[in-house]
Amino acid sequence: MEKIIIKGGQPLQGHVAVEGSKNAALPLQAAAILAVQGTVTLNNVPPVTDVKVMDRLLRFLNIKTAYGEKHRQLVLNANCPLSSEAPYDYVNQMRASILVMGPLLARTGQVRIALPGGCTIGARPVDLHVYGMEKLGAQIKQDAGFIEAHCDHLVGTRIPLDYPSVGATENIMMAATMAEGITTIENAACEPEIVELANLLNKMGARVHGAGSKVIRIQGVYYLHGAEYAIIPDRIEAGTWMLASAVTNGDVIVQNAIPEHNASLIAKLEEMGVTIIKQADGLRVLGTSVLIPANVRTMPYPGFATDLQPQMTVLQLLANGTSTMEEHVFEKRFLHLEELRRMNAHFQISGAVAIMDGPTDFSGAEVTASDLRAGAGLVLAGLAAKGITQVRRPQMLDRGYYHFYQKLRSLGAQIDRVNIEDKFKINPERQSRQNKGPEKE
C-alpha cells in the first residue's frame, strides 16, 4: 500500500512551476478525433494519469498518438477509419471519457459508449450531453449501461442548457463543428478550458464564436484538419500551490499562474489576510499567522472553483473564527472533511453548507484520499499539522498533479511517498539465510 507521509509545521518557501491544464488537455485530446487530415500537436500536455487514460481510449478508437514527456508534447493522428465503440473497460476510470461522444458522432455518424459510472464527489449524470446530441438530430438509445447514438448528419440548432455544464458544453461544441448550419449554445459554461477548446477547434478549421461567454455560436464546416496548440497553465494546480503557501504561512512564487483564471481564489485569500503579489514570473503568495475567517460558495466559472474547495476548507479551518463553505457544483464533495475530523477539525455539515470552527490545531493522523482534490486537501492539512500525517491512496493525486510531493519537497516540505509493503517485505536473501540457520564456520 502506498502512502504520502508528511511531517508538518514547515512554512513553504521558493518557486514552484505549474504544468499545463489537465481539464483543458482532456477535451483537446478528444477534439483530435475530428481531424480527418493532418496531425494535432498539443504542447504543454501534463504527464498525469487522466491524460494517459484518455490517450489509451483514443488509441483503442484507432488514433495514433505519441507523447514526449520531456517536451510535454502529444501528437495525435486520426486520419484513418475510426472505431465508434468505447467499452466500459476504457471509460470507467474517468468521467471525462464521455467527451469522445460528440466528436465521434460528428466524425462517424455513430457512437456506442459505456456510461462513465459513479464518482465519490456525487452523482454525475450525462443528461445534458445526451440532450445536446438529440437537439443536433442524433437518435439516442440507452441500454445495458451504454449510450448509443447515430445520425445521418447533424443539423445546427438552438441548444439552451439548464445548467452551464463544462463537459456538455464541450461535447456539443465538438459535435456541432461539422453540423449543417448554425448551432447556438445558450447558458454555456464559461471556463477558460472552454476557450481553449474553441481556440484549438478554430485552428483546425472550425468556426466557433463567443467561447468564454454565456452564448457560443458554431457555424458548421465540411471538415477539420490538424493544428498545433499550446495548453494554458493549470489554474487548479496553481490554486493548490497558492493555498499550500497560505496554510503553512509560507512565501511561495507560483510560476506561470494566470491571475485572471484564479480571480475568485485571490479575492478570498486577500479577504483572509494573505498577501498576493503579481510578478512577471507568476504569483507570490505570502501567508499570515492571523487568518481572518471567510465564507465561500463554489460556483461555475468565474465563481470559486469546486476543484479548489477541499484545499480551501483547510485554510478556513485555520482561520480565527467561524467560516462557511457552500458547495453548489457537486452534491457530495465534503468527504475530506470527515477525514480532517481525525486531524482535530471541528465542523458541522448541513446540506450543501459546511460550518467550520477555527482556529484548528491540526494534529497528524492517518487519513484516506477519496478523490483527487480531497487528496490535495489532506496533504495541505498534513503540511499545517503538528506531527506526522499519512495519506492513503496517493494514486488519486497522480490523476491531476505531476510530481506532487516532489514539488512540495522542493519548497521545503518534509514529505515522502512510500510503499509500505516494500518497507516490510521480507528480503528473500535474508529469509533463506534464516531458514538455513547460522552459517557454519
Ligand X SMILES: CC(=O)N[C@H]1[C@@H](OP(=O)(O)OP(=O)(O)OC[C@H]2O[C@@H](n3ccc(=O)[nH]c3=O)[C@H](O)[C@@H]2O)O[C@H](CO)[C@@H](O)[C@@H]1O
Ligand Y SMILES: C=C(OP(=O)(O)O)C(=O)O
Provide the annotated active-site residues: 119
| Among the residue ranges 117-125, 195-203, 253-261, 355-363, the one whose residues contact ligand X (CB under 6 A) | 117-125
Give me the phi and psi of 292, to 5 degrees please. -90, 135
Smallest separation, CB 257 to ligand Y (Å):
17
Count CB-CB contacts under 10 A for residue 213. 12
Residues in region 192-251 near ligand X by CB under 6 A: 193
**Selection from 154, 170, 153, 262 nearest residue 216 by Cα:** 170
243: helix, coil or strand?
helix
Cα distances from 293 to residues 278, 325, 361, 385, in angstroms, run 23, 11, 15, 19
Smallest separation, CB 291 to ligand X (Å):
25
Smallest separation, CB 195 to ligand X (Å):
13
The three grid cell numbers given for residue 393, joined into one nine-digit string: 491512496
Amino acid 108 reads T
Residue 372 interacting partner from ligand X, ligand Y, none (CB closer than 5 to 8 Å by kind) = ligand Y
The three grid cell numbers given for residue 398, joined into one nine-digit string: 497522480
Q: If binding is defined by CB under 6 A, does position 58 make contact with ligand X?
A: no
Q: If binding is defined by CB under 6 A, does position 305 make contact with ligand Y?
A: no
Q: Which is nearer to ligand Y, 4 or 237 (CB)?
A: 237
DSSP state of 281: T
**Selection from 75, 73, 82 nearest residue 38 by Cα:** 75
Cα–Cα distance between 55 and 326 in angstroms, integer?
35
Give the one residue of 81, 125, 351, 428 binding ligand X; rule: CB under 6 A.
Answer: 125
The three grid cell numbers given for residue 226, joined into one nine-digit string: 490538424
Q: If binding is defined by CB under 6 A, does position 135 make contact with ligand Y?
A: no
Q: If binding is defined by CB under 6 A, does position 393 make contact with ligand Y?
A: no
The three grid cell numbers given for residue 35, joined into one nine-digit string: 481531424
Q: Which is nearer to ligand Y, 281 or 331 (CB)?
A: 331
Tracing cell 479551518 back to the chain, one arrives at 317
DSSP state of 391: E
Q: If binding is defined by CB under 6 A, does position 307 make contact with ligand X?
A: yes
Q: Which is nearer to ligand Y, 172 or 204 (CB)?
A: 172
Cα–Cα distance between 288 and 358 in angstroms, integer?
15
Cα–Cα distance between 129 and 142 in angstroms, integer?
13
Q: Which is nearer to ligand X, 81 or 125 (CB)?
A: 125
Q: Count residues binding ligand Y (CB under 6 A).
A: 7
Annotated binding site for UDP-N-acetyl-alpha-D-glucosamine: 95, 124-128, 307, 329
Q: If binding is defined by CB under 6 A, does position 281 make contact with ligand X?
A: no
Q: If binding is defined by CB under 6 A, does position 330 make contact with ligand X?
A: yes
Q: Count residues binding ligand X (CB under 6 A).
A: 22
Q: If binding is defined by CB under 6 A, does position 112 make contact with ligand Y?
A: no
Binding mask 349-388 for ligand Y (x = CB under 6 A): -----------------------xx---------------
Half-sphere exposure of 387 (CA within 13 A, CB side): 10
Q: Which is nearer to ligand X, 26 or 253 (CB)?
A: 26
Annotated binding site for phosphoenolpyruvate: 22-23
Q: If binding is defined by CB under 6 A, does position 48 make contact with ligand X?
A: no
DSSP H helix total and E strand total for the chain: 16, 24
| Among the residue ranges 90-98, 125-133, 201-209, 226-234, the one whose residues contact ligand Y (CB under 6 A) | 90-98
Cα–Cα distance between 16 and 411 in angstroms, integer?
7
Give me the phi and psi of 53, to 5 degrees please. -65, -45
Q: Please report the DSSP string for 14-55 in residue order.
A: EEEE--B-HHHHHHHHHHGGGEEEEEEEEES----HHHHHHH
Smallest separation, CB 24 to ligand Y (Å):
11
Q: If binding is defined by CB under 6 A, does position 19 make contact with ligand X?
A: no
**Selection from 211, 183, 162, 195 nearest residue 102 by Cα:** 183
**Selection from 313, 398, 397, 399 nearest residue 357 by Cα:** 313
Q: Are 251 and 276 in contact (CB under 8 A)?
A: no
Q: Which is nearer to ligand Y, 183 or 370 (CB)?
A: 370
Residue 400 interacting partner from ligand X, ligand Y, none (CB closer than 5 to 8 Å by kind) = ligand Y
Q: Which is nearer to ligand Y, 372 or 384 (CB)?
A: 372
Q: If binding is defined by CB under 6 A, does position 96 make contact with ligand Y?
A: yes
Q: If binding is defined by CB under 6 A, does position 399 make contact with ligand X?
A: no
Q: If binding is defined by CB under 6 A, does position 95 make contact with ligand Y?
A: yes
Q: Which residues bind ligand X (CB under 6 A)?
A: 23, 26, 95-96, 123-129, 163, 165-168, 189, 193, 306-307, 329-330
Q: Which residues bind ligand Y (CB under 6 A)?
A: 94-96, 307, 372-373, 400
